[in-house]
Structure 1
Amino acid sequence: MARLPGPFLCWALLGFVSISAPGLAVEVKVPAEPLSASVGNTAELTCSYTTSVGDNFALEWSFVQPGKPISASDPILYFTNGHLYPVGSMAKRASLLQNPPTGGVATLKLSDVHPSDTGTYLCQVNNPPDFYTNGLGLINFTVLVIAIAVPPSTPVCSQSGQISVGGSAALRCQSSMGEPRPVYNWVHLGSSPTPSPGSIVQDEVSGQLILTNLSLTSSGTYRCVATNQLGSASCELTLSVTDPSKGRVAGTVIGVLLGVLFLSVGAFCLIRLQKERRKRPKETYGGSDLREDAIAPGVSEQTSMRANSSSGLLERPPSASTVTTTKSKLSMVV
């Protein structure tokens, strides 16, 4: 059996390894758990890699909105040929923790985060000829929205329902602003008795007060107070409970009074009409008709007056002209 020389065997083995072995793998590491930051803060999305950085090294960060596929990602920044290129809507707020990212750290810094920054971030490293893996890492990032605490705004009070004896009423109270969310409390003001506890149902969360089986004592002023840790505000409304039975009695009394008034006016007009008829002068007839109190020719007024006295009327003393006329007539007869 022929013996191969040592140097030839070594070169043969090295050639075989160089042909059959693949290139070095690019390995990207990102946090396994989701990351988060509060609105307005700066977030650091950690990404590291291992590879032999050469002239073809390239880094890309991109972003995918929630519910969309990875293929729909939008670029944030590139690093290639020794230069950094921020792009897209986050260009002014995106940067690298280390620039250039050639030391195995590709962490992304995102300043003044917005709620719209919530989504999936992709850290991808390319370094030909290291193509053994795709060099991709995914990070789920959430922006936490923390509301600013504010006191309750002045609430608005309103009422609805059948506001009468035996009916039900709903009083409502609501503030448009307030953080933490305010609670509501209703109180009945004034000296009038407070409705019995069984007729009140109050919801401190919704600000609603239900009054059932209303009575006249349920009338009055009600105040709603909205309260949270930073302060309180209030509003008021007046509830007027009516009694339908009193309304019917009042209507009957008014009807009777109107009837009496109409009858009185009618009687007054009738009496006045009769008086007007009595004051009218008697009608006279034409020249051919004689008046009942006319004196016949040749009969003195004295004779007429005596005739009247015999019928029960007062006798008027004769005038001088009447006496003279009578004497002249007697002398003519003699």
Structure 2
Amino acid sequence: MAWLPGCFLCRFLLGWVGWSAPGLAVEVKVPSEPLSAPVGKTAELTCSYSTSVGDNFALEWSFVQPGKPVSMSQPILYFTNGQLYPTGSKAERASLLQNPPTGGVATLKLTDVRPSDAGTYLCHVNNPPDFYTNGLGLINLTVLVPPSRPSCSQSGQTSVGGSAALRCSSSTGAPKPVYNWIRLGASPTPSPGSMVQDEVSGQLILTNLSLASSGTYRCVATNQMGSASCELTLSVTDPSKGRVAGTVIGVLLGVLFLSVAVFCLIRFQKERRKRPKETFGGSDLREDAVAPGVSEQPLESEDSSNGLLERPSSASTVTTKSKLPMVV
């Protein structure tokens, strides 16, 4: 066991020499805070290093998408043997502010920043035979994107006493936008107890709806890059008023039908009265016709006792008329 202290001492001495000897260590420094750049603008990712640059000096910038391990990084550009080689999908937009990057600074310049540029960038310096203490630096880049125009939708039972949910969401936006619902117009805003909104999800819950809840609602999506909005109209119905309206309409239709029937009946009676009376031709037979030579007046006899005329009974008169022949 006596060899252990000696071996440990050797490793300690070698480490102390490596730290103290100039030009033998490679150390990369990058900003500790994440960087951000507006979409369409230029981003500058600073990377500095300390080493004794020699013929074997090499620098590489690479990129890995959010949520993926560093081992899956893809090269953007690298510098070796005095030459700069852009590569990958960002080759046309990537360059170095210092070229050649042999003065201790190797800042990456990325033009026309796009949402797909958001992720982690790796600055890696390799300079054999210098050994590494920290030869790799990581920078997180956020691309700032204004929220896109959100889409508004609603669901639920939009009748008096019911509940409705209004939803609002933007497909793009970085950082993630917050949502705020407001009601347009001069109508009174529903009471706070009946309206609850979530600024993160963009949902507005309306409970115990009344006719006063009807109106136009606007959702505004906002982040540090700007804002966008959408609107929808909420119409609250009252089923009881619908039933009353149906009853009133039924009564009105009944009255209208009855009025039309009465009008038609009165018109029919008037038309009937205006028709001419029926006339008879010379060949028509009538029961009360009188034969020629027979007087229509009943026979009269003089009563010698009282001087009055005596009229035959109606029956005798009718019988006499009925027995006479009709002459045409």
Give 1:269's match in structure 2, choosing from 241, 264, 268.
Answer: 264
Aligned CA-pair RMSD = 5.1
Letter aligned with residue 79 of structure 2: L
| Length-normalised TM-score, structure 1 | 0.53
> Counterparts of 1:1-334 in structure 2 under 5 Å?
27=24, 29-31=26-28, 39=37, 40-41=43-44, 43-49=46-52, 57-66=55-64, 67=69, 69=71, 76-79=78-81, 84-89=82-87, 90=91, 93-94=95-96, 107-112=105-110, 115=117, 118-125=120-127, 138-145=135-142, 147=144, 159-172=154-167, 181-182=177-178, 184=180, 186=182, 190=186, 195-219=190-214, 239-270=234-265, 272-273=267-268, 279=275, 282=278, 287=283, 289-292=284-287, 296-298=291-293, 303-304=295-296
In the TM superposition, residue 65 of structure 1 has moved relative to its aligned partner by 4.0
Distance 1:145-1:238 versus aligned 2 partners, 3 A rule: closer
Distance 1:46-1:155 versus aligned 2 partners, 3 A rule: same
CA distance in 1, matches of 2:197, 2:119: 42
CA distance in 1, matches of 2:246, 2:173: 48
CA distance in 1, matches of 2:74, 2:221: 47
Letter aligned with residue 124 of structure 1: N
Contiguous gaps of at least 5 residues in structure 1? 1-25, 311-334
CA distance in 2, matches of 1:116, 1:200: 37
Contiguous gaps of at least 5 residues in structure 2? 1-22, 38-42, 299-310, 312-328
How many aligned residue pairs are there? Answer: 257
SS in 2 for 1:29: strand
Larger radius of gyration: 1
Distance 1:280-1:138 versus aligned 2 partners, 3 A rule: farther
Letter aligned with residue 87 of structure 1: Y
CA distance in 2, matches of 1:163, 1:72: 53
State the identity %: 46
Letter aligned with residue 84 of structure 2: P
SS in 2 for 1:252: helix
Distance 1:280-1:107 versus aligned 2 partners, 3 A rule: same
CA distance in 2, matches of 1:223, 1:74: 44
SS in 2 for 1:41: strand
Counterpart position of 1:330: none
In the TM superposition, residue 246 of structure 1 has moved relative to its aligned partner by 2.0
Distance 1:183-1:70 versus aligned 2 partners, 3 A rule: closer
Cα deviation digits, residues 71-105 of structure 1 (max 9, x gap): 986761222xxxx2222335871375667x5xxx6
1:49–1:106 contact (8 Å) kept in structure 2: no
CA distance in 1, matches of 2:46, 2:159: 62
2:51–2:127 contact (8 Å) kept in structure 1: no
| Length-normalised TM-score, structure 2 | 0.54
2:121–2:141 contact (8 Å) kept in structure 1: no
Deviates more, 1:236-245 or 1:216-225: 216-225
SS in 2 for 1:111: strand
